[in-house]
Chain A
Amino acid sequence: MKKRLSSFLIFCLFNSFALAELPNDKMGVIGTLPVPYPDHWLLVQDASFFHMLNGKLIVLDAEQKTRNEQYKGTFDNSLIASIAVAKTKPEIYVYETFYTRGNRGTRTDVVTIYDKASLSPLGEIIIPGAKRASMIMSDYTIRLIDDEKLLLLYNFTPSTSVAVVDTVNRKMLSEVSLPSCSLIYPTGKRGFSSICSDASMISIQLDKNGKVKSRNKIASFFDIDADALFERPAMINGIAYFPTFNGNLREVDLKGDKAVPGDSWSLVTSQERAANWRPGGMQLSSADSAGNMYLLMHKDGAEGTHKNPGSEVWVFDVVKRKRVKQIPLQLPGFVIEVSKDKSPWLYVTNVEMNIDVYDAKTGEHIRTLSDFGQESPFKLFSAN
C-alpha cells in the first residue's frame, strides 16, 4: 500500500514536471533597439548592386562572436540611397528613389526618416523634380548641418543643386542651384562648400530658413588631371583633409563662411613614393575621435589605380602631419570606417564582401563579420 502510494506520488510528481504546459506565447512581439546604439555597433549599407532596387541597411553589433548575436535589425533603401545618421537624435535620414512599378513607372524621390530604435519610418519628405544624384554612395551627397536642424541633399540631373530640408518640421525649405559644382562639404555656421568642375570651389551660407545668405567663389587650387583630390576627405575639427591620387594631402579650412584651401603635404616618404604607395578605394578615408585620419593605401599605384582596394590602412596625426601607425589588412579592403569612441575599432569591407574588424590602436584583427545576408556592403556607418 505504501509502495503503491509512493509510486503514485512519484507518478504525479513526474507528470507535473513532464506534462506541465508551456505558457502561451504572446502574438505580435516586435523587438526594439537600445538608443543610443552601443559604440561598437555598425550600420552597413548594402547597395544590392545586382538588384539595386532592394538596398539594405543592416545593423550589426561588432562585439558579438556569432552572426546571430551580431545581427540586430534591417531596413530597406531603394536604388542606392544616400544615408545620414544623426548623432544628436534617434533618426536616420534616407534619400531614396521609388518607381510605382518597381524599376519603372512614375518616379518619386523622398527622404524617409527612420527611427533608430524601431527601424521603422517616422515620416517622409517628398523632394520634387526627380533630381536625386544617382551614384556610388558617399557621405558628401547628404549632410546634416546647423545642429542637425537642416539636412542637405545633393542633386544631379546633370545640373547640380542642393535641396535644403528642415528636419524638425520635416519639410523642404529650398533648393540652391550650383554652377557645375558638386557635393556637400559642411562649412561655417550654417553652410556648405562644393567642388566645381574647374577645380575651384563655391561656399554658400544659408539663413535659418534655408535661403542663400552668401555665395563665395574660391579660385581653382588644384589640378584635376595631374593630382586630383579624392572627393571623400576626412573631416576633422572643421578642416577637410583631402587625400590626392598621387599620395599627397590637401587641407581645406571649412570653419568660416568660405572655404580656405590650405597647405599640401606628402602622405608618403620618398622611398614609399618610389614604390608608388598611394591612397585608393571607395570609402577610403575615416577619422577617430582623437582627430587621427585613416586612409586605405595600395602599393604600385599608377594612373587608374585610385579605386583599387588597399592592402593597408595608414593612420595619420593630421596636426603633426605624420603617420603614426600602419595597419596591414588580412584581405585587401575598399571601404573603411572607424568608430568614434575612446577605444576605436576599424571596420573594413574586404574584397570578399565581408567586414573585417580591427582594433584601431593595435592593428589586431578581432573578427570578421560575414554571412549576414550582405551582397555589396559599399558603405559603413559607425553607430555614433
Chain B
Amino acid sequence: MLLRKNSFFASLILLLAALSCKSFAVDNRSALARQNYILNCQGCHLADGAGFKDKVPRMTDFVAYFLHVEGGREFIMQVPGAANAPINDRELADVMNWLLRNFSGEQLPDNFVPYSSDEVGRLRKEPMIDIISRRATLIKRIQDKLGISVDSLSG
C-alpha cells in the first residue's frame, strides 16, 4: 500500500516537474517581457499601465485601439519611450505583445498579429519627430472608426 502510494506520488511529481519545465520555458519570455516593462516603462506608465493624468499616456483598456486604425500599429511601436528603450528588437517585440495582451486584451482586434523582432527592427529605424500631431490624428481615426469618445491624452 505504502509502496504503491509512493510510486504514485513519485510519478505525479515527475509529471508536474515535466510540465513546469515546459511552461517555464514559455513563461520565461513572458516573465522577461514583464520585467522589461517594469524596468523601462513602469516608472512612468505605472504598474497597471494606467499612465498619469495628462502627463503620461494611458495604456489600460486603451492602447490596443491604435491597432484598429491605419498608422496606429507603427505609432505605438515608434514612440520614443518604446523605440529608444535599451533592449534589443526581440525583447521590445515581446514587451509590446505582453502589454497589449495584459493591459488592453479586450480591445485587441480579432486579426491581431503579434509584433515580430524584424518588424520592430525596421520600425525603429524611422525616428518619430512630431508625436503630438501624429497621436491627435490617430485618436481622431479611432473616434471616427470605433465611435468611442476619447480624451486625447489620457484616453
A and B in direct contact, judged by CB atoms within 8 A? yes
Measured CB to CB, the nearest residue on chain B to A202 is: B129
A residues within 8 A CB of B122? none
Q: In B112-144, which residues have CB < 8 Å from any A CB?
A: 127-132
Select the stretch in B6-14, B78-86, B98-106 that faces chain A: B78-86
Interchain CB contact (< 8 A) of B129 among A159, A197, A217: A217
Interchain CB contact (< 8 A) of B130 among A158, A179, A180, A197: A179
Q: Nearest-CB distance from B91 to chain A (Å)?
A: 16
Q: In A173-187, which residues have CB < 8 Å from any B CB?
A: 177, 179-180
Please state if B55 and A159 are interface contacts (CB–CB under 8 Å). yes
B46 beta carbon closer than 8 Å to chain A: no
Please state if B55 and A179 are interface contacts (CB–CB under 8 Å). no
Q: Nearest-CB distance from A157 to chain B (Å)?
A: 5
Please state if B84 and A196 are interface contacts (CB–CB under 8 Å). yes
A residues within 8 A CB of B132? 177
Please state if A215 and B80 are interface contacts (CB–CB under 8 Å). no
Q: Nearest-CB distance from B70 to chain A (Å)?
A: 21
Please state if B131 and A158 are interface contacts (CB–CB under 8 Å). no
Q: Nearest-CB distance from A10 to chain B (Å)?
A: 85
Cα distance A196–B127 when bound, in Å? 11
Please state if B131 and A177 are interface contacts (CB–CB under 8 Å). yes
B residues within 8 A CB of A202? 129
B31 beta carbon closer than 8 Å to chain A: no
Measured as residues with beta carbon below 8 angstroms from the partner, the interface class of chain A is 10 to 19
Q: Interface size on B (CB < 8 Å)? A: 14
Please state if B130 and A200 are interface contacts (CB–CB under 8 Å). no
| Complex interface bits, B67-87 against A, C-beta within 8 A gives 1, otherwise 0 | 000000000000011011010
B56 beta carbon closer than 8 Å to chain A: yes
A198 beta carbon closer than 8 Å to chain B: yes
Please state if B56 and A197 are interface contacts (CB–CB under 8 Å). no
Interchain CB contact (< 8 A) of B81 among A180, A200, A215, A225: A180
Interchain CB contact (< 8 A) of B55 among A158, A180, A197, A200: A158
Cα distance A141–B86 when bound, in Å? 25
B residues within 8 A CB of A157? 55
B residues within 8 A CB of A180? 80-81, 84
B38 beta carbon closer than 8 Å to chain A: no
Cα distance A159–B132 when bound, in Å? 10
Please state if A215 and B84 are interface contacts (CB–CB under 8 Å). no
Tell which of A180, A200, A202, A217 has the most Cβ of chain B within 10 Å.
A180
B residues within 8 A CB of A158? 44, 55-56
Cα distance A180–B128 when bound, in Å? 10
Q: Nearest-CB distance from A153 to chain B (Å)?
A: 17
Q: Nearest-CB distance from A370 to chain B (Å)?
A: 40
Measured CB to CB, the nearest residue on chain B to A160 is: B80
Please state if B129 and A215 are interface contacts (CB–CB under 8 Å). yes
Cα distance A140–B135 when bound, in Å? 28
Q: Nearest-CB distance from B122 to chain A (Å)?
A: 16
Q: Nearest-CB distance from B32 to chain A (Å)?
A: 20
Q: Which 6 A-B pairs have the closest CB atoms?
A: A180-B80, A198-B84, A197-B84, A157-B55, A177-B132, A179-B80
Sample 6 A-B pairs with CB under 8 A, ordered by A number: A177-B130, A177-B132, A179-B127, A197-B80, A198-B80, A198-B127
